[in-house]
Amino acid sequence: MTVISSPGDFRIAAQSRLPRFLFDYADGGAGSEATMRANVEDLARVGLCQRVMCDVADIDLSADLMGVQRPLPIALAPIGIAGMYRRRAEVQAARAATSAGIPFTLSTVGLCSLTEVRAGTAGPLWFQLYVIRDRGFMSDLIETAKEQGAEALVFTVDMPVPGSRHRDAHSGMSGPYAPLRRAMQAVGHPGWAWDVGVRGRPHRLGNLTPVLGEASGMDDYIGWLAANFDPSIAWKDIGWIRAAWKGPLIIKGILDPEDARAALDAGADAIVVSNHGGRQLDGASSTARALPAISDAVGGRLSILADSGIRSGTDVIRMLALGADGVLLGRAWLYAVAAGGEAGVAALIGLIEREMRVTMALTGVRSIGEIDRSILLDG
């Protein structure tokens, strides 16, 4: 049994519970995975100034995210097919997020639909939309997001084509005899097979059922990604999305200050500084390296969120000090839900919160608003 004393322990617990094809899909990145490693390593190298005698008896973790006061400067990031990692995982994670008062972001390609997630929780819900060829279907998804009370639209722009993820061919997620290899791995993980394989049905992509049909499954997921992402997308196309969606618009996948300015000019309310967790362009900048210049370029004119490489509450503080207003947790919550379902995600959020408090106390800050580059060793 894995002892859970830090957010990283959920990864170990998830690996023991999941078939290889699912663990490697979550755990892997593009190409040689250099950018994925850099996300973690560069953030870990961000040094913090330890301060003493600062009266840190009362620490306030609340933060303003796009005009809404949240108890933590955190949201759960969109993750495709999360429902394959735990039975109806998107609903379980959304419930944990609701209990913590933070937003849950549902992926276009989640197993659970917007309708199912909303039926499972009344908490803050964001919806992530991919760039897809069928603009009519994108419009339909936006309308569904409105109907289900989504508070924000997260438009992911860093995936005009899927990245080269070599682990998937070796693990059975894709490649020769993939369905057979996945079935054989499932036999070796009876706990997962019963919870997800049997009780977690249907395995179709809930939001895509109108186009894929009721009988869609894992093979449709891989094929749909390759066939339907639209490489012709350009900044001019944001106009019709902004016209269709009147609520907060978050553009996810920004790594360059010029793109950050373009997002601002296009009408975005927020951006996510992100390299898709190192799953797209291997060799791209880590988020920690990209964030300060982007903050200098557009900070104060729109909200800046960041993801990729965040593995602890200390990492959250590092990202805030580098210029983010808030962060998205991605792999961290996926490992947690795989290991322990809703309770696992709740425990993860609690661990992150406690680590944030400790880091703030030891750097001498009492509120999120006090965190800036002055707490960095090289600030």
Tokens of 146: 């409105």
Tokens of 69: 């006061």
Position 170 in a domain = yes
Q: Say whether the peptide bond before residue 257 is cis (omega within 30 degrees of 0).
A: no
Q: Which residue, chain included where needed, has tokens 């490693």? A: 37
Cα dihedral 144, 253, 84, 6 sign: negative
Q: Give the separation between CA 291 and CA 286, rounded to whole angstroms.
A: 9
Position 348 in a domain = yes
Report the share of the chain in percent with pLDDT over 90.
Answer: 86
Query: At 162, is the pLDDT very low, low, confident or very high (cuts 50, 70, 90)?
Result: confident
Please provide residue 364's backbone torsions phi and psi, each rounded to the nearest 5 degrees.
80, 25
Coil, strand or helix at 3: coil
Could you tell me what percentage of the chain is helix, strand and coil, using 3-state DSSP and rounding each to the nearest 5?
A: 50, 15, 35
Position 71 in a domain = yes
Q: Which residue, chain included where needed, has tokens 């997002």? A: 263
Report which residue type is found at 127: F
What pLDDT, in 10s, does the model give residues 32-45? Answer: 999 999 999 999 99
pLDDT score, position 228? 78
Position 2 in a domain = no
Total structural domains within the chain: 1
What pLDDT, in 10s, does the model give residues 146-156? Answer: 999 999 999 99
Q: Is 166 an annotated catalytic residue?
A: no
Cβ neighbours for 150, distance < 8 A, ≥ 6 positions apart: 114, 125, 126, 127, 247
Distances (CA, A) of 36 to 186, 284, 310: 27, 9, 11
Residue 224 reports pLDDT greater than 80: no
Domain extent for 213? 9-375
Position 62 in a domain = yes
Write down the mean pLDDT value for the chain. Answer: 95
CATH of the domain at 365: 3.20.20.70
Query: At 338, is the pLDDT very low, low, confident or very high (cuts 50, 70, 90)?
Result: very high
Position 1 in a domain = no
Position 350 in a domain = yes
Q: Which of 166, 170, 203, 276 is catalytic?
A: 276
What pLDDT, in 10s, does the model give residues 259-304? Answer: 999 999 999 999 999 999 999 999 999 999 999 999 999 999 999 9
Per mean pLDDT, which range of 205-219, 227-241, 242-256 is the poorest? Answer: 205-219
Cβ neighbours for 338, distance < 8 A, ≥ 6 positions apart: 10, 13, 14, 17, 18, 22, 26, 85, 86, 89, 344
